[in-house]
Amino acid sequence: MARPHVTLRTARPDDLDFLLGLWSEMLRRCDGQDQRIDLELVLKDSAESTDQRVVVADVDGVPAGAVLLRIAPLSPLNPELSVQAWAPHVLPAHRRHGVGRHLVEAAADFAEESGVGVVLSGATAGAREANRFLARLGLSPYIMLRGASTHSVRQKAASQLPTSERGQHRRGAQLAARRTLRQRRTRADG
């Protein structure tokens, strides 16, 4: 069986609905209209910037996958530039047909065009197949980012304090919470 014909192109405004569906789990958790506005801004920024682009992979003329490519420092502490391949994703019906490889190659092409020596990409920790795919293409672990809600971090950190310090910490947490509420009210009123 022959592989399908994959072509890469820069995303257009009419790709918005496709990208909303493709990246739905990666977008900000809010109502659909706000997600649409967020993604419209990403597409607008990509169209106006030489440091960012959204690449769509078409299979026989039909969108099958996409990736957001962005030139940015490796980290806040290391100003060396990298091409970051955000949200490389392929529709389930088109997986294992070379579409993802084309998207990662687009990141390498963008890096070479821009004189950048490093390509970064990632997948969620639980996405075993996606992480294996990236490893097969030569991307090895570079940094592990972990995340949790502010409330959860504060709660866990407080539980690790020695008993003698917990009362002092609670008072600091209460003051921080009040300060946050005041800031929110000020922004809402202003």
What pLDDT is stored for residue 121 in this prediction?
94
What pLDDT is stored for residue 190 in this prediction?
64
CATH class of 6-136: alpha beta
Q: Rounded to whole angstroms, what are the CA distances from 37 to 27, 44, 47, 48, 88?
A: 11, 10, 15, 17, 20
Beta-strand ranges (E) seen in 20-76 are 52-59, 62-75
What pLDDT is stored for residue 95 in this prediction?
93
pLDDT at 73 over 70: yes
User: pTM of the full predicted structure?
Assistant: 0.79
Give the residue-averaged pLDDT of 8-34.
93
DSSP 70-110: EEEEEETTEEEEEEEEEEEEE-GGGTTTTHHHHHHHHHHHH
Which of 56-60, 114-118, 139-143, 184-188 has the weakest average pLDDT? Answer: 184-188
The token duo for 114 is: 């821009």
pLDDT band for position 122 (50/70/90)?
Answer: confident
Q: What type of residue is 152?
A: S
Angle at which helices 163-189 and 150-159 pack, to 10 degrees? 160
* Structural domain spans, the chain: 6-136, 150-189
Q: Are 88 and 69 in contact (CB under 8 A)?
A: no
